[in-house]
Structure 1
């Protein structure tokens, strides 16, 4: 049994998984975009009090000395600085982004089902990165970006605005190392353009899990699982599927505010059993379960979890409000 027990939410049907995952995403979005909201409100109240005092002074006719004028100029400058500070804070608030990373495969069907019928998603505030990518042209059925564009991005109603999307550099498909390095530069620009940070911190990372146990493009017993410093790793000669890929590293995935696995179907039941009951096997998801303990949740259908024993399945509590279109 895994020593770090994650939250496991099980649903009888695919639609239940999709609805709960969408709720998790919107909750994470709102949390990311509303940080320090109370502090801003308090500052606005203080600023309103300052403005009320100034207006009272302006409406009163009095005789003051030169020293008092200097003092009043000082107060006026202080108020001006306070207003400037509020403007900067409001600008910072308006520039907040929801930073999410997604993988491909069946997860895209879940996102299509769960997200496109909601009206509480602030798409224009999203920065979407990819947890991994196969080094194929975007028009290939194997391209995570290409399939995400087809199944999700192109279907976002124009009235909601468009997210910022960060695919790989398509001109680097023949060089996994250079492609990984280039995508790491994209991450650095998005997360550390002004500050030095050890790792990017996504608000949410969404992952699937393949029947062979690979997560993103991190394969069982592959050397990439031992990478401790790089943000993005090249994968050459992958043991299954497309041979050349790139992937976020384990440290980056485990540094996110929240990591959610989305797994459905009977074909996933054996590997899910191994992940949960035999962490000593060192499957990528088991490693992430351990290293990101307390920030992991699994959204599965009953078929995928059918072989696992001794795991407490929880009832998902919906927290985001949504009006259906």
Structure 2
């Protein structure tokens, strides 16, 4: 068994996983924006603040940043040299794969997602055109962001620079600079600290674009690294490194399907095998949660927990 046991929440069906993950995300959102209170906040009190945040943040973003929310108006009292109020943002890192469908099913029906207070980064990206079905950004844009109902605001989204997809090293360096602008800017920080990083886990054990037995697992300094020869899917990618993932306030895995059961068994029962998820379970000990369906835990010896909703679930 793993020496550091994460929280493992198991559900009988996909829909239950999506609903619980949505609650988990909104609880993380509320904690990041409003402090210890995980209760639903009044959107009417936060919308104006979010507009101010977008104005402040946009001045330091690169040309490659996609502001799905659009361009906010200038502050009315710009002539007065007052110290600008710092409005908190929810900084989330997303991976791709089946996780995107979970987000689609769980989040779009909620009315308490403060989309205009989100800064969305990517835990990894395949170096393909955004229109490709292999693009994490392209897929999540079409499946989630483009389907946010009118009037609910839009997140600020930070994709890779599409013009750099033929040069993995330059693309990784460019995305690291994007993270520096978003997390460090004028402060000296060793690593970005996401409020939440959401990851899947493939049957071969890779998370984000960190593959088992690859040199990228041993990277301790860079925030983002290139992948030149991924063993599955598009060969060229970029990915956040293990230290960056482990530095997040919360790291959450979302895994479903019986095809994942063998690798989950190895992750949980044989951490000595050094699979990426096992490394994260140890490195982010106490901040890791797993949301899985029962099929993914077939023949896996773990202690499952019952998920307790932290935010009022949506009305049905």
TM-score (norm. length: structure 1): 0.82
Shift of residue 128 of structure 1?
Answer: 0.3
Q: 1:157 aligns with which of 145, 149, 152?
A: 149
Q: Is 1:292 the equivalent of 2:280?
A: no
Distance 2:157 2:311 in 1: 24
Shift of residue 323 of structure 1?
Answer: 3.9
Q: 1:312 aligns with which of 276, 299, 303?
A: 303
Q: Is 1:280 the equivalent of 2:283?
A: no
Q: 1:185 aligns with which of 152, 177, 181?
A: 177
Aligned to 1:241: 233
Aligned to 1:70: none
Stretches of structure 1 that go unaligned for 5 or more consecutive residues are: 38-83
Higher helix fraction: Structure 1 or Structure 2?
1
Distance 1:35 1:316 in 2: 21
Distance 2:145 2:272 in 1: 39
1:22-171 correspondence to structure 2 within 5 Å: 22-35=22-35, 88=83, 91-92=85-86, 95-171=87-163
Shift of residue 88 of structure 1?
Answer: 4.8
SS of aligned partner of 1:304: helix
Aligned to 2:42: none
Distance 1:258 1:29 in 2: 11
Tell me the number of residue pairs that the alignment of Structure 1 and Structure 2 aligns.
Answer: 274
Shift of residue 17 of structure 1?
Answer: 0.4
Q: Is 1:175 the equivalent of 2:163?
A: no
Contact 1:102 1:205 in 2 (8 A): yes
Shift of residue 241 of structure 1?
Answer: 1.4
Distance 2:146 2:207 in 1: 26
Aligned to 1:229: 221
Hey, which bits of structure 1, 4+ residues long, moved more than 3 A?
Answer: 322-325
Distance 1:149 1:161 in 2: 14
| Cα RMSD after superposing both structures | 1.7
Shift of residue 35 of structure 1?
Answer: 3.1
Aligned to 1:321: 312
Aligned to 1:19: 19
Contact 1:105 1:208 in 2 (8 A): yes
Aligned to 1:51: none
Shift of residue 97 of structure 1?
Answer: 0.3
SS of aligned partner of 2:310: coil
State the Cα deviation string for residues 272-294 of structure 1 (Å, max 9, x = none). 00100110110000000011100
Distance 1:103 1:182 in 2: 18
Distance 1:323 1:314 in 2: 22
Q: Determine which structure has more spread, i.e. the larger CA radius of gyration.
A: 1
1:191-230 correspondence to structure 2 within 5 Å: 191-230=183-222
